[in-house]
């Protein structure tokens, strides 16, 4: 599903920084499963079999203040939650 549909359906809007951390952790865990460490998860089938997104619950994330056309984005700190993992699983 498209991320906005999942977010609206769940009533949960994860911070982009949290989603980025999930992405980085997934790439780190699954990148080499295709036989090549290149920053690309080519074998998503193997990733789904060998990597449990729930293992990310409790991992901290942190993003610095960012500039944007509408002003500055706030710094974000927190931990990956079960709700965040559920959103990512629905999006995938």
Q: What is the CA radius of gyration of the chain?
A: 14
Query: pLDDT digits over 36-81, tens only?
Result: 999 999 998 999 899 999 999 999 998 887 766 666 667 788 999 9
Residue 56, domain extent? 3-91
Query: pLDDT digits over 8-35, tens only?
Result: 888 877 888 888 899 899 999 999 999 9
Query: How many domains does the chain fold into?
Result: 1
Whole-prediction pTM value?
A: 0.76
Distances (CA, A) of 55 to 49, 65, 74: 13, 27, 27
């Amino acid at each position: 599903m498209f991320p906005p549909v999942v977010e609206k359906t769940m009533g949960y809007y994860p911070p982009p920084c949290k989603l980025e951390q999930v992405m980085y952790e997934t790439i780190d865990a699954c990148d080499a499963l295709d036989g090549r460490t290149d920053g690309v998860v080519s074998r998503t089938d193997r990733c789904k079999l060998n990597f449990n997104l729930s293992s990310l619950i409790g991992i901290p994330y942190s993003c610095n203040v960012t500039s944007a056309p509408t002003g500055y984005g706030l710094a974000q700190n927190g931990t990956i939650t079960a709700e965040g993992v559920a959103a990512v699983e629905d999006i995938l």
